[in-house]
Amino acid sequence: MNAQQIDTLLDRFETTGVTGPGNARVKTVVRRLLRDLMLAMEDLDIQPEEFWAGLNYLGQAGARGELGLIVPGIGLEHFIDLRMDEAEARAGLKGGTPRTIEGPLYVAGAPVCQGEARMDDGTLPGEVVLMSGVVRGADGKPLAGAKVEAWHANHLGNYSYFDPSQSAFNLRRTIVTDANGRYQFRSIMPLGYSVPPGGSTEQLLNLLGRHGHRPAHIHFFVSAPGHRKLTTQINIESDPHLWDDFAFGTREGLVPPVRTNADPVAMQALGVDQPFHEISFDFDLLSDEVKAPATDFARPRAAA
Ligand code: MBD
Ligand code: FE
């Protein structure tokens, strides 16, 4: 069928069995996606067997809870970031810490700590990392009382809640900045995440000839009254996958230096017998006075 015939068909679908006005936005989006799919089926001569295999694949991926993982894996979540960057540029917003993907592994309700936190439950091996910095507002001044929500994987690349072997909210904290706008936390070095073996995401990536690894990273939501919520991550610079992330999350400006501290006095003060790592990273928020689509959008998220 050609495009004109497809449009005629879609007109009939839209005007058959009508019981009310429905939702105008949903009608527009569904019609457009259906049209694009039909055109792709024509252009690529997609066969019935391929179509049903694809549908079954999506159903299985959904049943396994992997759709939120496929989306970053095919670059769609990074694409959404680039669109938000463009919307902010159009609204005249400049500067600010770069955003990058949230991913599917945030859990709401982590313990809230004032100024500083210890994120690991003390049961894990792994090298100690101390991270700290300042949250600054649109005027460049430190913001007291800003919320820094941090979450990351353990030494095996696994996230608490999704990995039931870890304690509740392990490696997840909300840190409220102190009077000088500072946050700091102690944790253990994460390992890069990899997609679950034998799962739907891995199945697709194999067929695309791609791996499913991320470089080691720490996620953040940073928010404060009068400012746009920032969703971002920092990456660990030494990771071999630093610029080879299956989820396309690494960005310039999000790879801070990691200093290794082997000073015996500092080690003793921390109570560790191995050198530890120090990361300094400041967050710059944008003002919410300028009109651009909200960055604190709703999205179904886990809540323990
Ligand atoms: C992750 O840890 C992650 O951050 C993303 C974006 C996708 C999968 C796992
Ligand atoms: Fe992650």
Over residues 173-207, the pLDDT tens digits come to 999 999 999 999 999 999 999 999 999 999 999 99
Alpha-carbon 182 to chain mean position? 23
Return the C-alpha torsion angle 231, 163, 277, 149, nearest 10: 30
- Atom number in ligand 1 closest to CA 247: 6
What's the gap in Å between 16 CA and the centre of ligand 1?
42
249 Cβ closer than 6 Å to some ligand 1 atom: yes
Q: Which residue has the tokens 């095996």?
A: 156
Q: What is the pLDDT of residue 40?
A: 98
What's the gap in Å between 66 CA and the centre of ligand 1?
11
251 Cβ closer than 6 Å to some ligand 1 atom: no
Q: What is the DSSP letter of 16?
A: S
152 Cβ closer than 6 Å to some ligand 1 atom: no
Distance CA(102)–CA(111), nearest Å, equals 19
What's the gap in Å between 1 CA and the centre of ligand 1?
40
Q: Global pTM? A: 0.97
Over residues 248-292, the pLDDT tens digits come to 999 999 999 999 999 999 999 999 999 999 999 999 999 999 889
What's the gap in Å between 42 CA and the centre of ligand 1?
34
The residue nearest atom 2 of ligand 1, judged by CA position, is 193
72 Cβ closer than 6 Å to some ligand 1 atom: yes
The residue nearest atom 7 of ligand 1, judged by CA position, is 103
Q: Which residue has the tokens 């058959």?
A: 16
Burial 190-227 (b: 16+ CB within 10 A, else e): bbbbbbeeebbbbbbbeeeeeebbbbbbbbbbbbbeeb
H helix runs in 151-263, sequence order = 200-208
Q: What is the pLDDT of residue 148?
A: 99
Distance CA(21)–CA(23), nearest Å, equals 7
The ranges of the chain with pLDDT < 50 are none
Q: What is the pLDDT of residue 37?
A: 98
Three-class secondary structure of residue 55 per DSSP: helix
103 Cβ closer than 6 Å to some ligand 1 atom: yes
Q: What is the pLDDT of residue 304?
A: 82
Distance CA(177)–CA(90), nearest Å, equals 30
Three-class secondary structure of residue 131 per DSSP: strand
The residue nearest atom 1 of ligand 1, judged by CA position, is 103
193 Cβ closer than 6 Å to some ligand 1 atom: yes
Beta strands 217-223 and 230-235, pairing class: antiparallel
User: Are 116 and 150 within 8 A, CB to CB?
Assistant: no
Q: Which ligand is nearest to the CA of 72?
A: 1
Distance CA(225)–CA(38), nearest Å, equals 46
Q: What is the pLDDT of residue 290?
A: 85
What's the gap in Å between 215 CA and the centre of ligand 2?
9
Three-class secondary structure of residue 21 per DSSP: coil
Q: What is the pLDDT of residue 126?
A: 87
Contacts of 13 (CB under 8 A, 6+ apart): 34
- What's the start-to-end Cα distance of the chain, in Å? 50
What's the gap in Å between 177 CA and the centre of ligand 2?
23
Q: What is the pLDDT of residue 78?
A: 98
147 Cβ closer than 6 Å to some ligand 1 atom: no
Residue 190: C-alpha distances to residues 119, 178, 285 (Å): 12, 25, 25
69 Cβ closer than 6 Å to some ligand 1 atom: yes
The residue nearest atom 4 of ligand 1, judged by CA position, is 103
Distance CA(220)–CA(233), nearest Å, equals 6
- Atom number in ligand 1 closest to CA 77: 6
Three-class secondary structure of residue 274 per DSSP: coil
Closest Cα partner for 293 from 2, 24, 90? 90
Contacts of 167 (CB under 8 A, 6+ apart): 121, 123, 160
